[in-house]
């Protein structure tokens, strides 16, 4: 055999030995990277859903409170006496809906 073929055989045997010896840790490292990626994806996905749900809840509660405050009466309603005054040109008799008898009307 020539020196060149012996060197190539030695390199080939080294490559086979390396592949046999290091294949397990390399595959394990790649599997750990894959599991880490899957775990991170799931963890941050769930965290994003939780944060989104909390944000929606906060917005809905704020809207409901604002709407309740806008509709709430600030002063409770009370009864107030009303006095109707009749002045010149006004009468206490019922008025026809088709005719006006107030001041400035043509029939007054």
* pLDDT value, residue 10: 81
Question: Which is more confident, 82 or 51?
Answer: 51
**What 8-state DSSP symbol labels residue 33?**
H
CB–CB of 103/89 below 8 Å? yes
**pLDDT tens, residue by residue, 54-78:** 999 999 999 998 888 877 767 776 7
pTM, entire model: 0.43
* pLDDT value, residue 68: 82
**pLDDT tens, residue by residue, 11-33:** 888 888 888 888 888 889 999 99
CB–CB of 95/107 below 8 Å? no
Angle at 25 (CA atoms; ends 24, 31), nearest 5 degrees: 90
């Amino acid at each position: 055999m020539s020196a060149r073929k012996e060197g190539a055989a030695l390199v080939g045997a080294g490559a086979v030995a390396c592949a046999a010896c290091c294949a397990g840790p390399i595959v394990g490292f790649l599997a750990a990277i894959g599991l880490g990626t899957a775990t991170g994806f799931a963890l941050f996905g769930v965290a994003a859903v939780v944060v989104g749900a909390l944000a929606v809840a906060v917005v809905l509660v704020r809207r409901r409170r604002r709407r309740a405050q806008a509709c709430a009466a600030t002063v409770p309603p009370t009864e107030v006496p009303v006095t109707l005054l009749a002045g010149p040109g006004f009468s206490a008799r019922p008025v026809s809906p088709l005719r006006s008898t107030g001041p400035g009307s043509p029939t007054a």
